[in-house]
Amino acid sequence: MDIAELSTKILSSDRRALARAITLVESGRADHRAQATELLDLLAQHKRQALRIGLSGTPGVGKSTFIESFGLMLTEQGLRVAVLAVDPSSARSGGSILGDKTRMERLSRDPNAFIRPSPSQTNLGGVARRSREAVALCEAAGYDVVLIETVGVGQSETVVSEISDLFLLLLAPAGGDELQGVKRGIMEIADVILVNKADGELKSAASRTCADYSGALRLLRKRPQDPAGFPKALMVSALEDQGLSIAWDELQQLDAWRREHGHWQQRRAEQAQYWFHEELRQAVLSQLNSAEAQGEINQLAQQVASGEVSSVKAAGLALARLNITTG
């Protein structure tokens, strides 16, 4: 593969080239990894940047409908929109939350939109790096907004918040009791909570839910990166296109304020550091992944299972046999 040529095509917004490049960064092969690194280095020189918006919400809250309506609103304004999915759960099932593009039929046909389903990956470390690199590729391809979608499982919100400038939490209307269904950790990373389905029979429930979450957000500790009034909860109806432009205005205001006050820059710097530490952790742990290491480890694991040796002692033996010196 001619990496310089691929780079040029991506910079000229060739969607097929972008798709090929994402496939490249998703590959686990060593030669592909080297090419991916070369490509990312070439593209990084152009320093193109999009507004990165993370989006989380459990199944059933209407994420696809929201992304379709929100994405189409942005493309109508002349913006170019990329949609990526981070879905560690699909790593297990082999499935893909965006696998079926027909879920966003109109947006997927829009020439100013790019939708990339989540890949089948085998570990969250891999998912994280692939997602970061896919975002960088979309930025290089000139997309103005990159939406990074995830379902609310395990550590995926952390991954998404660490590659996003803004984090949206999408909720469905519900009884007031259900507040505790949202993990506190997710509340704490949300910049804007959108209560979807504020239409038809659910409108009054959406209003109550929105008020409940507004109250809950006020109880959270004030974050230095928030102007007055943020984080906030808003009602939207993706189905009826209600509230989406207000939400977009709010997101833009928040983004502008953060850029003006240095928080955007600081956040991106912190994220780069976070990923440096994560890369380091994953690399160090990969010492245990070689065929030789796996052989030793499996053998010791048998002895641990049979009670011949304790887990602590076996760990010490494994390190000695693999010549790993620890601190």
| Binding segment (CB under 8 A) for a copy of itself, from list 64-72, 75-83, 119-127, 309-317 | 309-317
- Closer to a copy of itself at the Cβ: 239 or 315? 315
Separation between Cα atoms, residue 222 and residue 229, nearest integer Å? 10
Identify residues 116-155 at the interface with a copy of itself (CB under 8 A): 129
How near is the Cβ of 305 to a copy of itself at its closest, in Å?
4
By three-state DSSP, how is residue 83 classified? strand
Near a copy of itself in 261-280, by CB under 8 A: 269-270, 272-273, 275-280
- Is residue 97 at the binding interface for a copy of itself, with CB under 8 A as the rule? no
How many Å apart are CA 10 and CA 283, to the nearest integer?
29
Compute the half-sphere exposure of residue 161: CA atoms within 13 Å on the CB side of its CA: 18
DSSP letter, residue 57: -
Distance CA 119, CA 139 (A): 19
Task: Give whichever of 101 and 208 is closer to a copy of itself, judged by the CB atom.
Answer: 208
Among 78, 111, 224, 327, binds a copy of itself (CB under 8 A): 327
Minimum CB distance to a copy of itself smaller for 78 or for 94: 94
Instruction: Determine the residue type at 133.
Output: E
User: Least distance from C-beta 108 to a copy of itself, angstroms?
Assistant: 31
- d(CA 41, CA 120) in angstroms, rounded, equals 25
Is residue 204 within the footprint of a copy of itself (CB under 8 A)?
no
CB of 59 vs a copy of itself, minimal distance in Å:
11
- x/- map, 41-60, a copy of itself, by CB under 8 A: x--x----------------
Choice from 174, 192, 206, 236 touching a copy of itself (CB under 8 A): 174
Which of these ranges, 11-19, 102-110, 163-171, 290-298, lies near a copy of itself under the rule CB under 8 A?
290-298
| 239 binds a copy of itself, rule: CB under 8 A | no
Q: Is 256 in the site for a copy of itself (CB under 8 A)?
A: no
What's the start-to-end Cα distance of the chain, in Å?
A: 42
Please spell the DSSP secondary structure of 248-281, one letter per residue.
Answer: HHHHHHHHHHHHHTTHHHHHHHHHHHHHHHHHHH
For 256, what's the count of Cα atoms within 13 Å in the CB-facing half-sphere?
6
Note whether 153 and 186 are within 8 A (CB). Answer: no
CB of 140 to a copy of itself, least distance (A): 14
Task: Determine, following the binding rule CB under 8 A, whether residue 281 of this chain makes contact with a copy of itself.
Answer: yes
Spatial contact of 310 and 304, defined as CB atoms under 8 Å apart: yes
Nearest to 27 by CA among 95, 157, 120, 103: 120
Site stretch for a copy of itself (CB under 8 A), options 11-19, 76-84, 211-219, 296-304: 296-304
Q: Which stretch binds a copy of itself (CB under 8 A): 116-124, 203-211, 254-262, 292-300?
A: 292-300
CA distance 140 to 12: 9
Q: Give residue 248's Cα distance to chain centre.
A: 19
Q: Please name which of 211, 151, 200, 199 lies closest in space to residue 175, comparing C-alpha atoms.
A: 211
Residues 6+ apart with CB under 8 A from 311: 304
Q: Kindly state the smallest distance separating residue 64's Cβ from a copy of itself, in Å.
A: 20
Looking at the Cβ atoms of 187 and 288, the one nearer to a copy of itself is 288
- The nearest distance, CB 273 to a copy of itself, in angstroms, is 5
Q: What residue ranges bind a copy of itself (CB under 8 A)? A: 37, 40-41, 44, 129, 174-175, 177-178, 180-181, 269-270, 272-273, 275-281, 283-290, 293, 297, 300-301, 304-307, 310-312, 314-316, 318-319, 324-327
